[in-house]
Amino acid sequence: MRIVSLVPSITELLWDLGLGAALVGRTGFCIHPREALRGVAKVGGTKDVKLDRLRALAPTHVIVNIDENPRAVAEALAGFVPHVIVTHPCRPEDNRHLYRLLGHVFGREADADRLVARFDAALEAARGVAAARPAERVLYLIWRDPWMTIAPSTYVSATLATVGWQSLPPDPATRYPAFETNADWLDDVDRVLLSSEPYRFGDKHLAEVAAWAQRPVHLIDGEWASWYGSRAITGQQALAAFRRALDQA
């Protein structure tokens, strides 16, 4: 069994399922667990996969994701890889199926069940935080120049909702809409969150955004909301703690 993962969060999940020894390839964006991955070959990025490099690894299984990897890459892989596993978690609850799918394919059912139990506990705790507080409408920024955010149909938005944060705008035309800072719907925003990925927002952006948003602005680790797989467990825990901390500030 020789596995290549083209999905950063699933690369970490494979390790947590006890499959590290079978992992022979990854993208340059697969960074967790950092030290353990140093010896695993890189095959390009999530969008620009080096197919010749991947083919040379002779994988038996390649894992792709509908949002992360171009369809053309998956179609090309089907021509020479025995098993191409396509994933597409759309909400936090989909992690249960993801754990069990990979657990079944690779004979790690018991490890998958343990992750499901841990995830369920983290999700329940996060929802408890939401239940104890008024809902807030948030602007979750993922890009600058142009300013871009997320639609309610995204995994990120569904994850934020577990702690009582409703992402705006409510009905954009695309999943990751660009917007102008004078948009009418911005008047409904209670709080602005600056994600650390894909754009690396930092301290220097806080005042800039606050100037046009006229709302509280905070930095947030993008992995908490956007990484599915095993990191969704610690992500839910971190989001819940973050929401509590902001309410107490």
Looking at the domain covering 3-113, what would its CATH class be? alpha beta
pTM for this one? 0.94
The residue ranges of the chain whose pLDDT is under 50 are none
pLDDT at residue 188, rounded to an integer = 98
Write down the CATH superfamily of domain 133-248: Nitrogenase molybdenum iron protein domain (3.40.50.1980)
Residue intervals of the chain classified under CATH 3.40.50.1980 are 3-113, 133-248
Q: For residue 164, give both structure tokens.
A: 């009582």
Q: What would the pLDDT profile of 177-190 be if each residue is shown by its tens digit?
A: 999 999 999 999 99
Sheet holding 83-87, edge to edge: 41-42, 23-26, 3-5, 61-65, 83-87
- Round the average pLDDT of the chain to a whole number and report it: 97
Q: Of all helices (H) and strands (E), which one includes residue 138?
A: strand 136-141
pLDDT at residue 248, rounded to an integer = 85
pLDDT at residue 247, rounded to an integer = 87
